[in-house]
Amino acid sequence: MQEKIDQYTAEINAFSPANADELEAFRIKFLGTKGLIKDLFEEFKTVGPEEKRVFGKVLNQFKQMAEAKYAELKEGLDSGLKTQDLGLDLTLPGDGFEVGSRHPLSLVRNEIIDIFKRLGFVVAEGPEIEDDWHNFSALNFPQEHPARDMQDTFFIRKGDGSDDIALRTHTSSVQVRMMESGKPPFRAIMPGRVYRNEAISARAHCFFHQVEGLYVDENVSFSDLKQTLFHFVQELYGEGTKVRFRPSYFPFTEPSAEMDISCTICKGDGCNMCKYTGWVEILGCGMVDPNVLENCGIDSKKYTGFAFGMGIERITNLKYVIRDLRLFSENDVRFLKQFQTDII
Ligand code: DAH
């Protein structure tokens, strides 16, 4: 018996598990209900009284030693202290982890915001689910007026069958919310997502992003509008980018215009992007229609203002030459990771 105890003691002292499985095998072998220590106790029952006196103590000490060793090894494994035994080397460099990149639309939106902030514009937001008043009526779209068909609207039918709630078709609705809830002067830009009922293709999508601008104060004129947008374009696309204004129509502005810039790709020489005209349209703008000011409770005799709205996708396409709008919402990492990585 003493021989066995000596042999087991040596084995236990030398034992060093590489992992939890080995430790469990150790437990079963020595401390399990059919383990070697149990066998020793069985054998102990059969020895004579003289040996019992000697081995009783020895055996109990041996058992305690085995249990203590097991507890110590288990704690070491659990707390990871036995890392060398586990084949880990903590001095090796760790696995790198991939840092995300900002979405191109966010990059461009932030750039637009920065430019206008430097001109004293604040940033405002409004809801994407809008009522008829804010999306249309207050903006001088009369009921049943064909101008409402300029934008294919997703209406939301309510339980009572009425459908005067819709996904906003433009961020111009935020102008109304802003003017209704404050007093002039207003100088704000309003970025956000808008929705239109369009079939999805390379050139159209059922949702996209706009930045709206509004400046209302005493004596705001069309020349303020031109200078502001001219400055914006120089900042965004570089000095020397040309602008031109073409007369246009929007119910909420009078007069209205669309602004073109000299093509950023071919610098005006003519290319695919500008359809060989040298010019690309980037936004709609105009002087806020007095009806809109009055609808929002603002005295149109005292105040005038300008407004503009641009699509962020369009601005982004011209910056990065992206020809398929669907890329923006497909979340293909091969596309997304081509853009500047500036977040940790
Ligand atoms: N809301 C117009 C659209 O979505 C864009 C626009 C045009 C906004 C002229 C304006 C503006 O504020 O003055 O097509």
Closest-lying ligand 1 atom to the alpha carbon of residue 311: 4
**Alpha-helical segments (H) within the chain:** 2-14, 20-26, 36-46, 49-78, 104-118, 132-135, 172-180, 222-237, 290-295, 312-320, 327-330, 333-336
Residue 170 pLDDT: 96
Q: Which of 170, 173, 211 to mutate to test the pocket of ligand 1 (most atoms within 8 A of CB)?
A: 170
CA of 257 to the centre of ligand 1 (A): 10
Closest-lying ligand 1 atom to the alpha carbon of residue 169: 4
Query: pLDDT for 317-330, tens place per residue?
Result: 998 889 899 999 99
Q: Which of 130, 171, 172, 193 to mutate to test the pocket of ligand 1 (most atoms within 8 A of CB)?
A: 172
For residue 194, give the nearest of 279, 114, 126 by alpha carbon. Answer: 126
CA of 264 to the centre of ligand 1 (A): 22
Query: pLDDT for 31-54, tens place per residue?
Result: 998 988 888 888 888 888 888 888
CA of 168 to the centre of ligand 1 (A): 13
Ligand 1 environment, Cβ below 6 A? 170, 172, 212, 250, 253, 284-286, 307-309
Q: How far apart are CA 269 and CA 267, in angstroms?
A: 6
Count CA atoms within 13 Å of residue 249 on its CB side. Answer: 7
Residue 152 pLDDT: 87
Residue 321 pLDDT: 87
Q: Which of 198, 285, 287, 310 to mutate to test the pocket of ligand 1 (most atoms within 8 A of CB)?
A: 285
- Sequence-separated (6 or more) residues with CB below 8 Å from residue 115: 231, 232, 235, 236
Q: Is 185 exposed, middle or buried (0-12, 13-18, 19+ CB in 10 A)?
A: middle
Q: What is the DSSP string of 152-217?
A: ---EE--TTS---EEE-SSTHHHHHHHHHTS-S-EEEEEEEEEE------SS--SEEEEEEEEEEE
CA of 250 to the centre of ligand 1 (A): 7
- Judge whether 75 is annotated as a binding position: no
Residue 117 pLDDT: 98
Weakly modelled stretches of the chain, pLDDT under 70: 79-86, 147, 149-150, 340-344
Beta bridge partners, 287, equal 306
Query: pLDDT for 58-114, tens place per residue?
Result: 888 888 988 998 888 888 777 665 455 567 778 888 888 777 889 999 999 999 999
C-beta of residue 139 within 8 angstroms of C-beta of residue 133: no
* Ligand 1, atom 6, residue with closest C-alpha: 309
| Token output for 17 | 């598990």
